[in-house]
Amino acid sequence: MEENNCCGDAQNTISGCSCSCGFLEYPDQSEVPEPETPSTTASREFLSRLEDYARSLGIASMGYASITPEVILAGDFKYKNAVVLTLKMDDELIGTPPREEAQAMNDRLYDELADLTFRVSDYLRENGYGAVAIHPMSGLLDLTSLAQNAGIGFKGTNGLLIGPETGPAQKVSAVLTSISNLPQKASEHSWIPEYCARCGKCIKACPEDALVEVDTCCGSTVLLLEDRCLGCSEGCTYCIESCPFYSKGYETVRSKFMKLRQKLEERGKL
């Protein structure tokens, strides 16, 4: 199995294939107006204060990435750099079966992250930087891929971002900004798809068969069929609950997998 994506002929032959769950328009909750002449450079000291502020709000992880064509799903953007944010999903939500209660909890989490995202955006504006908040339910950007580009984690077979802080149990948002010198870093998590290809527990755990392995022009891949997925409509989290990155923790999974990989390399099987 390869990383979840919509690729080649498979996207054309399987209805409901989608790489995004969200809407295009959302209410602007900004309380601070955009500066007339936004600053474009930020000191390391300011970025450190920004990160401290985000953490004080409850943000789990934060990174920086450029807005590249492959992450744009709709619209045009005047700012080409982003501050990417994640918020941990509550264990109670993940343990709640999909239906009205789980969906209400899921919606509240999206609302909470949206509020925090606008607060980070306002913080940037207060300090003279252009900022546009991207709602976590927005369909404008592929936020999972953007977070992957920011080095926060890597997209797993379930189509979700998997990272060291919260495994797959997180929501993602972003703030587009005029800051052009954001310190981007290379990903340390590119081994995750290799692990996922050997696992597949999320595929088996999905009661709606929303994760389907198919052959494409790019090889074997797993597609998320959004019209089957109950994550957006009923708060389903079975693919998260079954994921070893959630149940065992990122470092435990990484340590065991690296030992396995080393043994396979020594035996010439990689």
What's the number of CA atoms in the CB half-sphere (13 Å) around residue 126?
Answer: 12
Return the pLDDT at 220.
75
Q: What is the rounded CA–CA span in Å between residue 145 and residue 172?
A: 10
User: Do 131 and 44 have their domain in common?
Assistant: yes
Q: Residue 257 falls within a domain, yes or no?
A: yes
- Split into its structural domains, the chain has a count of 2
Cα dihedral sign, 24-165-185-85: positive
User: Do 128 and 259 have their domain in common?
Assistant: no
Q: Residue 122 falls within a domain, yes or no?
A: yes
User: Do 234 and 257 have their domain in common?
Assistant: yes
Describe the crossing of helices 192-199 and 250-266 by its angle, rounded to 10 degrees: 90
- Among the candidates 154, 177, 200, a domain finishes at 177
Residues of the chain under the 70 pLDDT cut: 1-25, 218, 270
User: Do 108 and 72 have their domain in common?
Assistant: yes
φ/ψ of 129, rounded to 5, equals -105, 145
Q: What is the rounded CA–CA span in Å between residue 6 and residue 179?
A: 32
Return the pLDDT at 1.
45
Return the pLDDT at 5.
42
